[in-house]
Amino acid sequence: MKAAVLGAGSWGTTFAQVLCDAGTPATLWARQADVAAAITEIHENPRYLPGLALPPTLTATTDVAAALEGAELVVLAVPAQTLRENLTAWAPLVPDGSLLVSLMKGIELGSHKRMTEVILEVLDVQPTRVAVVSGPNLAREIAERQFAASVVASSDKLSAQLLQRACHTEYFRAYWNTDVVGCELGGVVKNVIALAVGIGVALGLGDNTKAMLITRGLAEMARLGEVMGADPRTFAGLAGMGDLVATCSSPLSRNRRFGEYLGRGMNIAQAKEMTIQTAEGVTSYAPVLELARKYGVEMPITEVVGAVITGRLSVGDAAAVLMARSAKPEWYGTE
């Protein structure tokens, strides 16, 4: 089985490494010629994973047609808001029958569609041909071949298991399930909660605050997922709690770092300049809130993050606004 990974950022490059290490030959498509050349010639991605040796079997190209030729797995690892435009251009080149895999953790602005929904719409394929990878996947640690695990999900059990076999290695353990909705929502909402945790860290708030934000953030994720048809068990697993803990706890997380920049007083433009790659939560908070309002779901942490990003609330007032909410039962629906 041959794979094409479209997007040579840190996670795209790392997942391509995982595929190669699992015995699945992979070709990376990179936008920058210097990145493609370095991956192929010196087996390193100096822009996104400096100092880490990539498999000699991994090659890269700036020619998307060459990357896609003969691919049975097509892995999409571009920023969420660019997916539709890129995929529309690439559609004639995507091999018939290939399994389309999303590594992206975002919601499309305007349409409120998850990434797999965008793929289905643009390419007009059956859901059985689409899968998603989600979990606590801090790219640099996995590129260093530290032990990690993730969920590979497709509505079709056989597709999920095929992807599992393609990326299962001694250091990267893949679990399969069929809850695409839950896996995607977990990957999106955790980025927004990580922004809140980053702000709290910058303000000098401690582990109790961090634990509160993570736990109540999980509640927001699960409430939205439940009304959108997700399996509640997903949010207790790798694509829910696992991803949330890693993203909120690690300074390697770009969304947490972005939150820290905001907490130190930087504006959005300054924080973006400091963040090499896209912090998806900065954009995804808006469609997440629109989905929450559509389904009548309370997401107070997400609301506060949105107010900070849009300048309607100062960083210093964010915690006070959350803590001023009326007392409630821990479990919604409790009398």
Q: CB of 10 within 8 A of CB of 49?
A: yes
Q: CB of 261 within 8 A of CB of 274?
A: yes
Crossing angle of helices 281-295 and 207-227, rounded to 10°: 50
Q: Phi/psi of residue 190, each to 5°?
A: -60, -30
Q: CB of 24 within 8 A of CB of 71?
A: no
Q: Is 133 helix (H, G, I), strand (E, B) or coil?
A: strand
Q: Report CA 186 to chain centroid distance, whole Å.
A: 9
Degrees, nearest 5: CA angle 12-215-194: 35
Q: Is 320 helix (H, G, I), strand (E, B) or coil?
A: helix
- Find tokens 């969920």 and name the residue: 151
Tell me the pairing of strands 26-29 and 3-6: parallel
6, β-bridge pairs = 29, 76
d(CA 123, CA 101): 13
Q: Report CA 234 to chain centroid distance, whole Å.
A: 15
Q: How far is CA 94 from CA 23, 25, 86, in A?
A: 22, 17, 12
Tell me the pairing of strands 3-6 and 172-177: unpaired
d(CA 46, CA 5): 18
- From 105, 190, 210, 294, active-site residue: 190
> Is 190 annotated as catalytic?
yes
Q: Phi/psi of residue 22, each to 5°?
A: -85, 0
Q: CB of 279 within 8 A of CB of 191?
A: yes
Which residues are annotated as catalytic?
190
